[in-house]
Chain A
Amino acid sequence: MMEPRALDGWSSPSAVAAIARAIGAIRIDRPVTLMHVCGTHEHAIARAGIRALLPEGVRLVAGPGCPVCVCPARDVDLAIAAARRQGTVLATFGDMMRVPATEGSLESARADGADVRVVYSPADAVDLARERSGRTVILMAVGFETTAAPIAASLAADPPDNFLVIPSLRLIPPALRFLLDRGAGAIDGFILPGHASVVIGRAGYRFLEEEYRVASVIAGFEPVDVLQGVHSLLSRIAARESGPVMNEYRRVVHEDGNPKAREAIDRCFAPADAAWRGIGVIPLSGLALREPYERRDAVRALGLEAARGAVDVRPGCLCHRVILGEVEPEECALFARTCTPRSPFGPCMVSSEGTCRARYTYRRIAG
């Protein structure tokens, strides 16, 4: 067998049924809202139909956990401007291709002749820069801590001078603070993102237990992982205690995360205020390149300018409320009508991890 035995069993139907039963046996006398902040969780939850297994009165909502969805239109506008320059190649993760910019998308820019390439890894973009030494290769650097680490590693490994990035990375802990500060009492518990947690560790969330006293659990992405996370949260909530941040993804998440990954990020970047699409600026939630890597910032190096009046939320789109867990995708009049994966109107319908896209793809199963 090619897969380790340890990776089997996390989606076993009997285990799922047993945990779902245990969840059903927890008595809570009030409605409860749990939020996850991870596109991979949303995709897993929608695919496995987890919401249908939860007791009445327990809502499991998706927060701003899809990096593609929260990437501001201005940054996509800048990427398109970079791609249209003579002598440039714009490299991007595939998820970004159809994200609506103020006008068009990277995909439509490519159709118009701009050189836009989809890469799987920042290392692929660096290879592209080596192969195309006469061109400037610009990586659209979108993602959370998980992706910031590989991008930092690619910058630290002495790439050629014609490799630049458009920094549009975001950090999870400042977003959690923002969510808690704005809606006191609205969120009863957090399911924390498994793979961002690989980097920052359980220690990265200490403020949740010390300052906010909100029940929180780090969970993985198989059905058993997610249900185990829900069970842990509901047990705490039923007992009316928040307790320490729980780690139910111990097979990859350690107390201090991955120190080497965090060092790579800290070496290349410094926290900076950053805008989240449809939400606004969240203090110190982004990453700006720091010396000596500042010269890799394509926006500065090429003097890229975004047109004024970037449009994050197009009229009629509810992505900005979906992303905060305020409305369900189905409550948007455009959902599955004007807005579909083939022709996304808002950013949450683009990536397979966008809340609207995941809901659309699995809507028959989700019921």
Chain B
Amino acid sequence: MCLGIPMRIVSRDGNDAVAESSSVRKQVRLDLLEGAGVGDYVLIHAGYAIERIDEREALETLDLIRRVYEAGRRDDPA
């Protein structure tokens, strides 16, 4: 129910926008997001963008997870 779908904004006209994910395009609303623009990755819930997805943060976190657990693995005597 609180499902959020990551999509990229491809065009906007006021608070009306078109967003895209894989090959699906959808009409979405931007009422709840300050300053979202074309090219931004956003989280869509019930037809509304509820947040921008911070791509850099996502990559850094993934990278950190990989490094931490892979380091743990090397230290593992088993």
A interface with B by C-beta (< 8 Å): 2-7, 9-10, 15, 18-19, 21-22, 25, 38-40, 66-68, 93, 95, 120-124, 142-144, 146-147, 149-151, 153, 156-157, 193-196, 198-199, 224, 228, 248, 250-254, 258, 260-261, 264, 351, 353
Contacts and interface: CB of A to CB of B under 8 A. Distances in A.
A260 B34 CA distance: 7
Contact of B73 (A18, A38, A253, A260): A18
Interface string B1-45: 111101010000001000011110001010111100000010101
A122 B70 contact: no
A50 to B, nearest CB: 16
B1 A6 contact: no
B2 A252 contact: no
Given A93-B1, A120-B47, A150-B48, A264 B6 contact: no
Contacts of B8: 2, 4
Contacts of A93: 1, 46
Interface of B: 1-4, 6, 8, 15, 20-23, 27, 29, 31-34, 41, 43, 45-48, 50-59, 61-62, 65-66, 69-70, 72-73, 76
B interface majority secondary structure: mixed
Given A150-B45, A253-B51, A258-B51, 19 more contacts: A2-B21, A6-B56, A15-B62, A15-B66, A18-B73, A22-B72, A93-B46, A121-B46, A123-B27, A150-B46, A153-B31, A156-B31, A157-B15, A199-B50, A251-B53, A252-B52, A260-B33, A353-B1, A353-B3
Given A124-B47, A252-B43, A3 B21 contact: yes
A258 B54 CA distance: 14
